[in-house]
Amino acid sequence: MKSLIKKLVETVGPSGYESKIREVIRGEVEGFADEIQVDAMGNLIIKKGEKKEGGLRVMLSAHIDEIGVMVTHVDKNGFARFTTIGGVRPHTCYGSRVRFLNGSAGVIGGERLENANHVHTIESMYIDLGASNPEDCPVKVGDVAAFDRPFEDLGNRVISKAMDDRVCSAILIETLKLVKNSPHELFFVFSTQEEVGLRGATTAAYAIDPDLGIAADVTMSGDTPRGIKMDISLGKGPAIKVKDGGMLADPRLVDAMVQCAVKHKIPYQMEVLLGGTTDAKAMQISRAGMPAGCVSVPTRYVHTPSEMVDINDVNNAVKLLSALISEPIKLV
């Protein structure tokens, strides 16, 4: 699992530019798929199995895009000004390295602050690519980059940029490989442009028209010094979402997930996230609507260049999803 996560997180793929990461994932799953499709939004859709008696048409979604930046202007001294792609926070940017799709690397700097206790705004920062003028600058207006950080293995904990949501892409890949005999018709969707508005999952859910939607995504944790007030910790199991900033999970699906975890002795936590949302929201309100929920991986430092997860939570998320979709899901 660690080697798979490393391969996924170190592939560059900001929202709207997911072709490289999509091909990496396709290489991992094509031997386990009944059908493979790439739709107009760039979603990778893997179909597996047929609906049997008591089964459902189930869509599982994990997004493959990551947050990033886009060049808006190159000044006379070769510094590239930029805007954000997705939820990039200014306080995580200064001094960070970025990698463009063309391979060029740069570091984010900023104008002198009048008060050193303040934080740079995005407008006051720039990317230094080592150029002295626009002609020497290896990027141009419209070029995109992702944050550049290597995967680090700390034992039970692993760190990298783009754990959101490549770690859950790895979870879906392993779940796809493990599920051998399911009563459900399964659609594993590796969705695009989640960070800029759940766009890929929206169109995929409309096309698939499933009976049930399950997202896999990261969630924040409340286990750091003077951190947020949230009853989620690394290492205590995957989180079963009850609510986030965009949706209320279907309580019948929440109960089914809890019962599955208890039955198979899988540790779990209950998630109430006050901000942010996942592909589950897009699925929940697609067409005439559907029951939807989410299995989340507790993550520290979400939307920074160094996100941390516990590998035991990742493996237990695979166990939970695999067990859930290998059996009839009764929503009563």
Residue 289 contacts by C-beta under 8 Å, 6 or more apart in sequence?
none
What does the alpha-carbon distance between residue 198 and residue 160 come to, in Å, rounded to a whole number? 23
Query: What separation, in Å, do the N-terminal and C-terminal C-alpha atoms of the chain show?
Result: 35
* DSSP 8-state assignment for residue 135: T
Q: What are the structure tokens assigned to 322, written together? A: 């695999």
Interhelix angle 19-29/163-178, rounded to 10 degrees, is 20
Query: Of 213, 281, 287, whose CA–CA distance to 252 is shortest?
Result: 213
Q: Which of 194, 195, 271, 307 is catalytic?
A: 194
Q: What are the structure tokens assigned to 184, written together? A: 């459900």
Instruction: Answer whether 315's CB lies under 8 Å from 237's CB.
Output: no
> Parallel, antiparallel, or unpaired for β 35-38 and 57-63?
unpaired
* Sheet arrangement for strand 239-243: 35-38, 44-48, 185-191, 57-63, 212-220, 292-299, 239-243, 269-272
Active site annotation includes 18: no
Question: CB neighbours (10 Å) of residue 135?
Answer: 8
CA atoms within 13 Å, Cβ hemisphere of 200: 30
Return the active site residues. 194
